[in-house]
Amino acid sequence: MKYRFPLAVLLLLGLGAGLYVSLPEAPAVVKEGNPSVDFNLPDLQGAMHGLPKGEVTLLNFWATWCPPCRKEMPSMVELHNKLGSRGLKIVAVSVDRKRSDLSAFVREFQIPFQVLHDIDSTVSRRYGVFRYPETFLIDRQGRIRHHLVGGIDWMSQPLLDTLEGMLNEPVDGVRQG
């Protein structure tokens, strides 16, 4: 009788250790300085798209049910209107389950940039995203320059300076701008 409790504790510890060892590995997080991870996801019409190559890209992971995502979207639209003609590409990857929710959101906010649908969160997991919104700023060489977590005011001067600096960086020795 006096050995039951220690035996039960040992049994539970062994069971817990066995479960821990059998858990899948956490996704590798894409960090600043790493190359971006390419992917193919459908847009709202079902056409497949990947990351733009050789372009300064703002890659944003978000969802329609996420309050900070909803709050930042108007400034992202404004950013596109300001810097899109200078070459900034915005790719907004939604992890929503229902395409109808996503379509309604795009219409509501009149989103002019590329919106892709990561219905099973495969791509967001490859980037190590688990909080929304999360954004990666990618340079022309395909490297992650900045990783931003949370809702952002994309029209803030420090961010505009960062993005304009990236857009003005030389491409193959030729200065942009």
20-63 tens-digit pLDDT: 444 444 445 778 889 999 999 999 999 999 999 999 999 999 99
pLDDT in tens, 130-160: 889 999 999 999 999 999 999 999 999 999 9
Q: Is residue 23 part of a domain?
A: no
Q: Is residue 106 part of a domain?
A: yes
Burial of 118 (0-12, 13-18, 19+ CB in 10 A): buried
pTM over 0.75: yes
Residue with tokens 């340079």, as numbered in its chain: 139
Q: Is residue 88 part of a domain?
A: yes
Domains held by the chain: number = 1
Residue with tokens 């990947």, as numbered in its chain: 50
Q: How many CB atoms lie within 10 A of CB 64?
A: 20
CATH number of the domain bearing residue 114: 3.40.30.10
Q: Is residue 121 part of a domain?
A: yes
Q: Is residue 130 part of a domain?
A: yes
Residue 102 backbone phi and psi in degrees, to 5: -65, -45
| 141's tokens | 């060489």
* 40 vs 123: CA distance, rounded Å: 9
Q: Is residue 120 part of a domain?
A: yes
* 38 vs 150: CA distance, rounded Å: 22
Q: Is residue 11 part of a domain?
A: no
pLDDT score of 172: 67
Per the CB < 8 A criterion, the answer to whether 96 and 117 are in contact is yes
Residue 40 backbone phi and psi in degrees, to 5: -135, 120
| 37's tokens | 């991870």
State which residues form the domain around 134.
29-168
In sequence order, the 6+-apart residues with CB closer than 8 A to the CB of 71 are 151
Q: Is residue 127 part of a domain?
A: yes
Per the CB < 8 A criterion, the answer to whether 36 and 136 are in contact is yes
pLDDT in tens, 80-129: 999 999 999 999 999 999 999 999 999 999 999 999 999 999 999 999 99
